Amino acid sequence: MDSKENEMMTRVGPSTPAGETLRRYWLPVSFSHEINADAPRLVRWLGEDLVLFRDEGGRVGLMEPNCPHRGTSLEYGWIEAGGLRCCYHGWVFDVGGRCIEQPGEPAGSAFKNKIKLKAYPVTEVGGVVFAYMGPGKAPPFPRYDFLAREDGERTFAGYLRECNFLNQLDNCLDPVHATILHGREVNGTRENPERQESPEFEVLSDDLFASYVARRPGPIPGKEWHREVSYTPPILVIHDGGSLPGDPAAHFADVAWRMPVDDYNTYSFILKFFPFREGKSTIARKRNVPRPPPLMRGTRRQFDMTTVNGQDAAAQIGQGAIADRTAEHLGYSDRGVIQVRKLWMSAIDAVIRGDDPPGILRDLKSNELIHFDVIGSGRLVDKDQMLDHLPRVMRI
Ligand code: FES
Ligand SMILES: [Fe+2]
């Protein structure tokens, strides 16, 4: 890969090829529970500083952070009067960015009608707030089943990693690293059968979806351990879609969006969905254990090399803030990585051509659910079973 292509795939700001492509999709910008009605919050996504708030009516706003009057930051404002009130002279902006009040102007003045902040459309689904930061009319929101299903519970987690989002996406279809990087010790144990042997793996892909299925010998003749991780443009990684082949009813989902904060920082939104069984919760107590704080850039000593997350952080941040892909030597084992990049590049190419990138479904019906048929991790499966595993994405 040459440096031009590397830049093209990794830079996320406005007017960059990757940045413009990312902006064609609905992207996660917060968990719902993180936006309280007391105070606005400054956030940074795709290299843009923005103010995020929830108005008194519960609606979420995401807009330019500086007041168009004399420029102070709206992060110090108050939630009131149907919007966000600037702390300096009290102008109020609604979630659409319209100025709806100017206390210092004469009564009846129409000046406020000329003032508008750039605000992005926002929608809240399944406890996650998504924004459309692109041009024109937003496409229909894709109602993934793990977000939209109401017959279960979701848990949320997240962490910041100080590297470009593609460092992290390159890692998702890379099963060999699981054996080497995570193979020595995780939480004091080496018991996991998945981490003991380098796997056989296949890379499966269509124009919407790429995944690997790693196969390791199982303890019973004719059975294998299968692990699948999939990538869906632009930033969705599914570690467990929760279904076995031929069984479209997800029993569990484990997904992550690798959301670019800017060129050098990535925030992972992690969501797990646990359907009710006979109307009851299936969330195991141990899954509610609080996670350790995010692992940041630093020396080797600062990464906890005994946890999966610490190991991944060390390896991905160790590649440099934006990995230098011009100096790589990709081998046979990197074919999943290559597939992720191909799919991401096909999305960028589509946007450059003026087309919709893959995954934008303009004909979605309002109640349609989208299900990712992913085997997930650590399943003991009949040897031939995965051959029947396509199609990968189902509209139900
Ligand atoms: S700077 Fe915001 S109202 Fe004056
Ligand atoms: Fe990993």
Residue 17, pLDDT above cutoff 90: yes
Tokens 């796997």 belong to residue: 199
Looking at residue 386, what is its pLDDT? 57
Q: Are residues 166 and 268 in the same domain?
A: yes
Looking at residue 34, what is its pLDDT? 92
Q: Which two structure tokens, joined as six digits, stand for 113?
A: 């009608």
Looking at residue 327, what is its pLDDT? 85
Q: What CATH number has the domain bearing residue 321? A: 3.90.380.10
State which residues form the domain around 265.
145-395
Give the CA dihedral 233, 170, 267, 4, nearest 10 degrees: -80
Q: Are residues 72 and 121 in the same domain?
A: yes
Q: Which two structure tokens, joined as six digits, stand for 353?
A: 């051509």
Which residues partner with 155 through β-bridges? 272
Least confident of 110-124, 185-199, 218-232, 290-304: 290-304
Please state, in angstroms and rounded to a whole number, the distance separating the CA atoms of residues 115 and 122: 20
Residue 12 lies in a domain: no
Please state, in angstroms and rounded to a whole number, the distance separating the CA atoms of residues 101 and 84: 10
User: Residue 1, class by beta-carbon neighbours within 10 Å (0-12 exposed, 13-18 middle, 19+ buried)?
Assistant: middle
The whole-number average pLDDT for the span 351-356 is: 96
Residue 238 lies in a domain: yes
Residue 55, pLDDT above cutoff 70: yes
Identity of residue 93: F
The whole-number average pLDDT for the span 267-281 is: 88
Residue 9 lies in a domain: no
Q: Are residues 248 and 125 in the same domain?
A: no
76 pocket-lining for ligand 1 (C-beta < 6 Å):
no
The whole-number average pLDDT for the span 69-93 is: 95
Query: If we measure between CA atoms, which residue out of 269, 317, 61 comes closest to residue 167?
Result: 317
Tokens 């843009």 belong to residue: 48
69 pocket-lining for ligand 1 (C-beta < 6 Å):
yes
Q: Are residues 198 and 306 in the same domain?
A: yes
Please list all protein residues whose beta carbon sits less than 5 angstroms from ligand 2, which is an ion: 312
Q: Are residues 178 and 124 in the same domain?
A: no
Residue 137 lies in a domain: no
Q: Are residues 216 and 86 in the same domain?
A: no
Q: Which of 101, 132, 163 is the last residue of a domain?
A: 132
Q: Give distance in angstroms: CA of 92 to centre of ligand 1.
A: 9
Q: What CATH number has the domain bearing residue 68? A: 2.102.10.10
Least confident of 125-134, 226-235, 255-264: 226-235
pLDDT-derived band at 300, boundaries 50, 70, 90: very low
Count how many domains the chain has: 2
Q: Are residues 228 and 307 in the same domain?
A: yes
Q: Are residues 242 and 314 in the same domain?
A: yes
Please state, in angstroms and rounded to a whole number, the distance separating the CA atoms of residues 186 and 144: 32
Q: Which two structure tokens, joined as six digits, stand for 168?
A: 């992290």
Q: Among residues of the chain, what percentage have pLDDT more than 70?
A: 85
Q: Are residues 216 and 123 in the same domain?
A: no
Residue 215, pLDDT above cutoff 90: no
pLDDT-derived band at 141, boundaries 50, 70, 90: very high
Query: If we measure between CA atoms, which residue out of 277, 289, 236 comes closest to residue 26?
Result: 236
Looking at residue 85, what is its pLDDT? 96
Reported as a single tens digit per residue, the pLDDT across 103-136 is: 999 999 999 999 999 999 999 999 999 999 999 9
Residue 7 lies in a domain: no
72 pocket-lining for ligand 1 (C-beta < 6 Å):
yes
Q: Are residues 225 and 337 in the same domain?
A: yes
Measured at the CA of 129, the angle between CA 7 and CA 316, to 5 degrees, comes to 35
Looking at residue 307, what is its pLDDT? 86
Q: Give distance in angstroms: CA of 152 to centre of ligand 1.
A: 45
Q: Are residues 112 and 170 in the same domain?
A: no
